[in-house]
Structure 1
Amino acid sequence: MEQEIEKYFDRLWPICRSITGNGLRDSLNILRELVPLELHEVPSGTPVFDWHIPREWNIKDAYIITPDGRKIADFKSNNLHVLNYSIPVNKELSFEELSPHLFSLPDMPDAIPYLTSYYKETWGFCIRDKEKKALPTKGTYKAVIESSLTDGSLTYGDFLLEGDTEEEILFSTYLCHPSMANNELSGPLVTAYLYREVAALRNRRYTYRFVFVPETIGAIAYLSRNGSRMKEKTAAGYVVTCVGDHGEFTYKRSKAGNTLADRAAEHVLRSHKVKSRVIDFAIGGSDERQYCSPGFNLPVGSLMRTPYQQYSQYHTSLDDKSFISFAAMAESVGLYLEIVKTLELNRRYINTQPYGEPQLGKRGLYADLGGQRKRSDALTRRLHLLCFADGAHDLISIAEKMGLPATDFESTIAELTKAGLLKA
């Protein structure tokens, strides 16, 4: 899996993405090789709750020619050099006139910052601070941005992987940043490979909704079209982002804080003894803000590694391939899959012989030789599950009492169900 993820990463990396435009479409079409996404277009100007879809932005090139003839801030060498959503520019100007349109990070002199101006028409360039400080203050500069803002559309992709019921599990990720690794590409790639794993599961109870949207405006547009159904059907959901670095896992709870999504994720982290931390919901973050907004209050959390804004490379050119690990991304897929398996198994089971302890021996589920000083692990799980299978406890709570992963009970559930002692 690691090598496959890397190949797709390398194809997606050079593309200049934004919240609209051909870069976004091209990226979604590459991901359609992994997930059978249906692509949707929302026309510019469309009202989506309190917002309107902006005009579509596309870009071909951008650069600055210095007074001594050097080309700097070259978009083709690094697409972070242009202020994302810059209006077209082709003009000569002095350093004094150019300076308000130059952005850098004085505390990170070797990094190109990532900045946007989606909703105010302006233009600009992002450069390394050490380069900015070395620019001549005399002479004439030429600034060129070959971009366009037109009436077009915003594109998003989704796919509904059907299960036995209409209850849904949501996996949402964003695709709208240019060349950044952890904050941009780790989420869509982990989500895409998670889709493949979930699609391979047999007898899925839940229906799985996979959503690839531009951050914020895309999620709002998506909810404007799908929110009513999601409010009715969503049992649990997760925003997948920042899952590619070497950091320990972080789970950010839903706004409610005690939903099935939260319980499943925290149970997996605890029971598998994953080095991790759990944080409460806060407004800083990603599209969980939209899914958990007051009109929806969906049970949506987010399992990350190092969260956004908590690593120095965040929103800079230093968030590149050298910062991430494809092994870490594969591990993230595996942990999300464990959450899926936990959700699939989690039910309020009923012991069909609740009066006293069932006679397991006659069903071949108890050792022939009684009185042994220690029960087998398998027998302990059988007796534990039957004792708490009273309709009041779900599997997560039952497993928690033994300090075991819920998935450790899969074979126990199967054998007790086959013996007629357990039903969901």
Structure 2
Amino acid sequence: MGCKLDLPEAPQQFQDSGQCSRHRQGPEEEGLLQRHQCTPSGGCDFPDQEIVVLHNKHSILCRRDRFLDREACEEETAEVRILRSRLLLKGSQTEMYSLLKELFPICRSITGDGVRESLGIIGRRIPLRVTEVPSGTRCFDWTVPDEWNISSASITDSKGRKTVDFADNNLHVVNYSEPFSGTLEREELMPHLHSIPSQPDVIPYVTTYYKRRWGFCLRHKDLLKLKKGKYKVEIKSSLKPGSLTFADAVIPGRTKKEIVISSYLCHPSLANDSISGVVVATHLYKYLKARKDNYYSYRFIFVPETIGAIAYLKMHKEHFLKNVYAGLVLTCLGDSGPFNYKKTRQGDHSLDRICANVLKHSGHPYSLREFWLPGSDERQYSSPGFNIPVGSLMRSVYGEFKEYHTSDDDLNFVKEKHLEETLQMYKSVIDAVESDFHYINLNPFCELHLSKYGLGSNPFKQEDPNRYFRKILTLLNFSDGKHSLCEIADKLDVPVLELAEFAKTLEQKKLMRRS
């Protein structure tokens, strides 16, 4: 039996089929907004879904099964459009957090089935090309290691109680631990145990990719509880020749010049460091795929950090050297911290100016940081041989928040509203990149007689006339083929996307052209 939602003073009902029919009503009933939360026990066809219905004389919106349907109407008021965009935004938030929750429990590493499973989940949302690089493959100065997989691991005391269990949290095992089975005295076991005394309630994240050993990670308060005696230790893992797995997806643009969007997929259950970047990248792909007439091509890369990026660059060296214009590394995007932009190695690339401009006019707190090492995969893309301008737009910076590389970097630490804020910031950056051209004023001798072209009175009615004339005259003056749109926007101290609207108008009137 479906759940019916009766709207006061309106015959519209939410039918069992979930369909929404057109209805017009009088002005006294405009703006009626009603919410209904269905419960699993209520026999509703849409359990745990909030159904939002806007009843307006022009439109009715129903949210069902995480999507919005709207019957086509001849007109739609501004209020309806605003509300619809907000509801769609909420759906995007829910979808991103759903992906985060699906990826979070998987035990990933730089190789292995956890990476493949994660790429399979992403591949159900966007088309991916998956590549396997065999163990032993030389990639510049590195070699792809043997593949690692794990099924279980535990420490059991003399009374048969499991004091540490991989099944409880995959951070409990040192990532890439070799297999081990044996009984040890506490003193023999202690060198293999890792904790953080200053954070006694968290499990640390420790790896041993290139050194054969084994170990466990646990809360320091639990380590202190280990009594003298014998402990049975078992790690059911495998380290043997296999392959390293990565994936990519390319959206062609009008030019072969590419913007790289890179995220890493090797950390186990760490929500902000690693998974948040993958989630935002996945939804940024959807945005760019739907965006019409992209100038640049976009290459999305999902790799294990460091060795994965190195292997990818080895396989695509000539392509990167010839075609890649710039890039961004996505990580640490879901916490409540201020935005931080790590500049490219060049420090003054157009991408650096654009990110600074977008952040400055975003209304969010932010900081700009110079390129530093180490870091994430920007250090591979920006190594001297490639020298690709790659920046990283983050929230809190890796290594600077106390939850970093601990069990506190969990689903409670990352909030969907922060993921959405970050996605919107990246969308603004991409839109600005797609607008940042150099222009040529086609009437460069003296200023234009603006009224001849319908520009003498401000077409942007909401804007102060003095501000309007300053912008349009400055834009025309510096459109000499030497200044980018973002450089001109910075001279005016305005958002580059705001100035892009002016440039579009002047292009349409054939007063400017792209150089």
TM bracket (short chain) = over 0.9
Whether 1:307 aligns to 2:362 is no
Whether 1:286 aligns to 2:376 is yes
Partner of 2:107: 16
Q: How far off is 1:20 after superposition?
A: 0.4
Query: 2:317 & 2:205 partners in 1: Cα distance?
Result: 31
Counterpart amino acid of residue 147 in structure 1: S
The Cα offsets for residues 33-56 of structure 1, whole Å up to 9 and x where unpaired, read as: 232111100000000000000001
Match of 1:106 among 184, 190, 197: 197
Whether 1:49 aligns to 2:146 is no
Between 1:44-53 and 1:320-329, the stretch displaced more is 320-329
The Cα offsets for residues 244-287 of structure 1, whole Å up to 9 and x where unpaired, read as: 11000011111221112211111211233431011111112111
**Structure 1: gaps (5+ residues):** 369-373
Whether 1:363 aligns to 2:453 is yes
Partner of 1:256: 346
The structure whose RCO (Cα within 8 Å, separation 6+) is larger is: 1
Q: How far off is 1:128 after superposition?
A: 0.8
The answer (yes or no) to whether the contact 2:347–2:370 under 8 Å persists in 1 is yes
Counterpart amino acid of residue 28 in structure 1: L
Between 1:126-135 and 1:270-279, the stretch displaced more is 270-279
The answer (yes or no) to whether the contact 2:485–2:500 under 8 Å persists in 1 is no
Match of 1:125 among 202, 206, 216: 216
Whether 1:69 aligns to 2:160 is yes
Match of 1:381 among 471, 475, 478: 471
The answer (yes or no) to whether the contact 2:166–2:173 under 8 Å persists in 1 is yes
Whether 1:296 aligns to 2:386 is yes
The Cα offsets for residues 356-390 of structure 1, whole Å up to 9 and x where unpaired, read as: 1122222222129xxxxx72654443222111111
Query: 1:248 & 1:422 partners in 2: Cα distance?
Result: 38
Query: 1:298 & 1:421 partners in 2: Cα distance?
Result: 35
Match of 1:326 among 404, 416, 424: 416
Query: 1:74 & 1:318 partners in 2: Cα distance?
Result: 17
Match of 1:152 among 242, 249, 254: 242
The answer (yes or no) to whether the contact 1:235–1:260 under 8 Å persists in 2 is no
Counterpart amino acid of residue 153 in structure 1: S
Query: 1:272 & 1:126 partners in 2: Cα distance?
Result: 41
Whether 1:213 aligns to 2:306 is no
Match of 1:185 among 263, 271, 275: 275
Q: How far off is 1:30 after superposition?
A: 0.6
Query: 2:340 & 2:488 partners in 1: Cα distance?
Result: 24
Three-state SS of the structure 2 residue aligned to 1:77 is: coil
Between 1:57-66 and 1:33-42, the stretch displaced more is 33-42
The normalised TM-score by structure 2 is: 0.79
Three-state SS of the structure 1 residue aligned to 2:438 is: coil
**Structure 2: gaps (5+ residues):** 1-91, 459-463
Whether 1:243 aligns to 2:333 is yes
Partner of 1:226: 316
Query: 1:9 & 1:134 partners in 2: Cα distance?
Result: 34
Query: 2:432 & 2:151 partners in 1: Cα distance?
Result: 47
Q: How far off is 1:241 after superposition?
A: 0.5
The Cα offsets for residues 99-140 of structure 1, whole Å up to 9 and x where unpaired, read as: 1111111111111110010111111111111111111112x2
Partner of 2:260: 170
Whether 1:194 aligns to 2:272 is no
Q: How far off is 1:328 after superposition?
A: 0.6
CA RMSD, aligned part only?
Answer: 1.3
Q: How far off is 1:184 after superposition?
A: 2.0
Whether 1:28 aligns to 2:119 is yes
The Cα offsets for residues 394-415 of structure 1, whole Å up to 9 and x where unpaired, read as: 1001111111111112332222
Partner of 1:345: 435
Query: 2:129 & 2:148 partners in 1: Cα distance?
Result: 22
Q: How many residue pairs align between the two structures?
A: 418
Partner of 1:371: none
The answer (yes or no) to whether the contact 2:265–2:302 under 8 Å persists in 1 is yes
Match of 1:335 among 425, 428, 437: 425
The Cα offsets for residues 50-108 of structure 1, whole Å up to 9 and x where unpaired, read as: 00000010111111111121112211110000110011111112112211111111111
Query: 2:292 & 2:468 partners in 1: Cα distance?
Result: 24
Counterpart amino acid of residue 212 in structure 1: F
The answer (yes or no) to whether the contact 2:263–2:274 under 8 Å persists in 1 is no
Q: How far off is 1:234 after superposition?
A: 2.0
Query: 2:133 & 2:172 partners in 1: Cα distance?
Result: 28
Query: 1:210 & 1:412 partners in 2: Cα distance?
Result: 31
